[in-house]
Amino acid sequence: MSAKASGASPNGAANGEAKHRQHHDGSTGRAFTVEQKTAVIRVRKCAPTAFYDILGLEEVKTTCTDGEIKKAYRKLSLLTHPDKNGYDGADEAFKMVSRAFQILSDPDKKSKFDKFGGDPDNRFGGGSASTASPFSGFGRSGGAARAGGPMWEEEISPEEMFRQFFGGGGMGGGFGGPF
């Protein structure tokens, strides 16, 4: 095998000195229009879960129809598609546009998003109390759920969590206690 085929330096450089290779996504050098550039910049400025804003429907988000959502998606997907748009960041903008359409075109996901905010597919992305954080409320005194409400509502400090697991208070002294 030649030095060129193996990636080694042809002048006999020491092992460990590999050539740095750049990955090209194919859009480098591809032309783009001012409209494509503007669309990418606008979409990339939006929050990842601002789905109406991403599609440009923030003004009519309470009254927009499925047809308006599809029309906005078609227009933006053509403007941001990395095969058509060589502007830096077009691939990320296209992914954001596709994700927004995926959520807003599904009636169940759209209603969850409208009600709670956040990404309805993300376990921790919704705005409801039950999905806010997996560790919120871990330190509630008593350790049992109150009647009529979840037991995970308050935040706990790392010190409190350590104390609950490894010593002092409650259930027989924890892991580090006497047996």
Instruction: Tell me what pLDDT residue 81 has.
Output: 93
Exposed (0-12), middle (13-18) or buried (19+): which is 40, by Cβ within 10 Å?
Answer: buried
pLDDT band, residue 150 (cuts 50/70/90): very low
- Give first-to-last CA distance, the chain, whole Å: 66
- Is 30-116 assigned to CATH 3.40.1360.10? no
Q: 160 near 139, Cβ under 8 Å?
A: yes
* Average pLDDT score over residue span 113-126: 76
Sign of CA dihedral 136, 137, 143, 146: negative
> Given a cut of 50, is residue 98 above it in pLDDT?
yes
> CA of 152: how far to CAs of 11, 94, 145, 160, in Å?
64, 37, 8, 15
* Average pLDDT score over residue span 116-133: 62
Q: Which residues of 153-169 are buried (b: 16+ CB within 10 A; e: fewer)?
A: eeebeeeeeebbeeeee
pLDDT: which is higher, 66 or 131: 66
Q: 69 near 105, Cβ under 8 Å?
A: yes
Q: Identify the residue whose tokens are 């009647």.
A: 147
Q: 122 near 133, Cβ under 8 Å?
A: no
Task: Give SS3 for 129.
Answer: helix
- In this prediction the pTM is 0.54
Kindly list the domain boundaries of the chain, sorted by start residue: 30-116
AA identity, residue 173: G
3-state per-residue secondary structure call for 28-45: CCCCCCHHHHHHHHHHHH
pLDDT band, residue 165 (cuts 50/70/90): confident
> Given a cut of 60, is residue 18 above it in pLDDT?
no
pLDDT band, residue 130 (cuts 50/70/90): very low
Average predicted confidence (pLDDT) for the chain: 73
Q: Identify the residue whose tokens are 């350590």.
A: 162
Most confident of 52-61, 72-81, 135-144: 72-81
